[in-house]
Amino acid sequence: MNGVRATIAIVVVTNCVTTLVQAGDDAVTYRNVRSITTCKGPRGFTHAMRGIAVQNDLLYVVGDQKLLVLRTNSTLARSWPTEHPGNCVAVHPDGRVFVGEEGQIEIFSPDGKRSSVWRDAERLDFVTAIGFAGDAVIVADADGRCLRRYTADGEYVRDIGKGKRLRGFMLPNRYLDFFMEDEKIIRVADPGRHRISRYTIDGERLDHVGHFATKSERGFPGCCNPTNIARTPAGDIVAVQKAPPMVKVFGCDGEFRTAFGGKSFDPNCKNSDAAVDRAGNIYVIDTVRLEIVVFGPEQPHGTANDSEQMP
Amino acid sequence: MNEEPTRRDVLGHAARGAALLGMGGLIGYLIKHGSVEGAWRINVDQCVNSRLGALGVDVCDKCATTCVLALSAVRAVNDHAACGRCYICPAYFDVNSAINEEGLPSAKLCPRDAIERFEIGWVDPDDPANNYYEYVIDEVKCNGCGRCVMACKEPAGLSSIRLEVRHDLCLDCNRCSIAQVCPDDAYIREPTT
């Protein structure tokens, strides 16, 4: 009973309708459907909220020294502490929860019992993203400026993005993010080069999309963008930028689709992790307000406006 | 004629000696503590150009325009240990200018062209985005206008550039003209140790 009361007590969902910037006639557009504020507060996060993942209609969020599991209706399903502040979280298809931290990865069972810790002082310096490709576990080490490939048992295999003529990703903001396009291909954000690059899990560099731009929404501004990326069920690329914070969607071939969300974030937001659920809803962390901003897809030909309305 | 000093004389001399000693000590104390020795300093957490969270505001160039010196004693300083060595530095380039054929902003931000950009380390001849760059501020040209400081501020940059008072140039005025007009009370006088 107490648990139910506690859950209800921290659930505050702010409904608002923001949105759209622009999109082509046949493009999917997005609108800000709500902000999940349940993660903020004494039972949630008080200082930092850094990583988010979605699986089976559950949101996994890490920050401070804890992990929160939220239902998509924003109620708290469960939570547990982590040894160090989590930078990122990923859920293995078998249900295990991987939390990337400074110097290590903690692995939990679905109910929050810690089953294992991978420590590798040289290769897991600052873990900011984790992904799975069959038996391989791909880890982003921001301080090492590359991806590390491990076996499912935690045995190091190789670096990706560094070595030979590859000098590592350019990460002035100490954050490296990627997603698995399929079991062989990795899409990785390279913010210092204003690109999103493709690599094989064997370390071969394939190609990249994205370019520097300030006045056009089709490129990325500032010193280092995009900082975070995710993949929609349709295979589109969701790229989150800072200064100003904004979400941009590109096709898998790099074709610009839409940009939105500028007014939904605190302008000081940076390194805002993103995740996409099966319905195509995009969840982005507001790292200053400690909230999750949710954008839902709309059918083509939706009405475009850039104003905020109260519910 | 050879009169023995009386007790009154001895006590009088002793009193005058003690008074002189006391006055000497007092003068010494006043010399040491009576005047405030200090130096002007910019509190970067207060200055609007570098204060985190102050976004969407105009650059304050009071340090450049109100110092009594022809070229202000305030300079921008890049902390190279904190610098991201970015390919496109928003403090070096005017990122709102048109993009040139190399894919870079065509104009520089500094109105006095006081920042120099150098490739460092191994240089990729095919892809300039593959290189690291060092940004060096020319103190002879810089007048402390603060534009680069504002542009480098987080979250757009890494806040590696800040304004500093150059004490070898500062006249150390008691009533510093910059401190008089600083809108954020960021120009402060601190005792020197």
Task: Express each pLDDT in A161-178 by its tens digit.
Answer: 998 777 899 999 999 999
Mean pLDDT for all residues in chain A: 88
Residue B14 lies in a domain: yes
Mutant choice from A223, A224, A240, A286 vs B, greatest count of B C-beta within 10 A: A223
| Inter-chain touch B130–A211, beta carbons under 8 Å | no
pLDDT of A15: 40
Residue B96 lies in a domain: no
User: Residue A241's Cα: distance from chain center in Å?
Assistant: 11
Chain B residue numbers with beta carbons less than 8 Å from the beta carbon of A213 are 99
Give the integer Cα–Cα distance in Å for A19 and A293.
12
CA distance B96 to chain A (A): 6
Mean pLDDT for all residues in chain B: 90
Say if CB A218 and CB A246 are below 8 A apart. Answer: no
Give the integer Cα–Cα distance in Å for B83 and A87.
22
Chain A residue numbers with beta carbons less than 8 Å from the beta carbon of B88 are 194, 212, 222-223
Chain A residue numbers with beta carbons less than 8 Å from the beta carbon of B123 are none
The average pLDDT across A90-113 equals: 97
Which residue of chain A is at minimal alpha-carbon distance from B89? A223
Say if CB B86 and CB B133 are below 8 A apart. Answer: yes
Residue B163 lies in a domain: no
Position B6 confidence tier, pLDDT thresholds 50, 70, 90? confident
Per the structure, the count of domains in chain B is 1
**3 state SS of B177:** helix
**A272-311 pLDDT, tens digit each:** 999 999 999 999 999 999 999 999 998 665 444 333 332 2
Residue B17 lies in a domain: yes
Residue B4 lies in a domain: yes
Give the integer Cα–Cα distance in Å for B47 and B99.
31
Residue B3 lies in a domain: yes
The average pLDDT across B169-184 equals: 96
Give the integer Cα–Cα distance in Å for A174 and A168.
12
| Inter-chain touch A173–B158, beta carbons under 8 Å | yes
Count CB neighbours of A75 within 10 A. 14
**Range with lowest mean pLDDT among A50-54, A101-105, B70-74, B124-128:** B124-128
Residue B54 lies in a domain: no
Chain A residue numbers with beta carbons less than 8 Å from the beta carbon of B95 are 214, 221-222
Contacts of A69 (CB under 8 A, 6+ apart): A58, A59, A60, A61, A76, A77, A78, A79
Position A6 confidence tier, pLDDT thresholds 50, 70, 90? very low
Say if CB A208 and CB A219 are below 8 A apart. Answer: no
The range of the structural domain enclosing residue B26 comes to 1-35
pLDDT of A299: 65
Give the integer Cα–Cα distance in Å for A159 and B6.
100
Domain boundary assignment for chain A: 13-298
Topology at the third CATH level for domain A13-298: Neuraminidase (2.120.10)
The token pair that represents A225 in the structure block: 């963008």
Chain A residue numbers with beta carbons less than 8 Å from the beta carbon of B100 are none
**Range with lowest mean pLDDT among A59-68, A151-160, A245-254, B1-10:** B1-10
Which residue of chain A is at minimal alpha-carbon distance from B51? A268
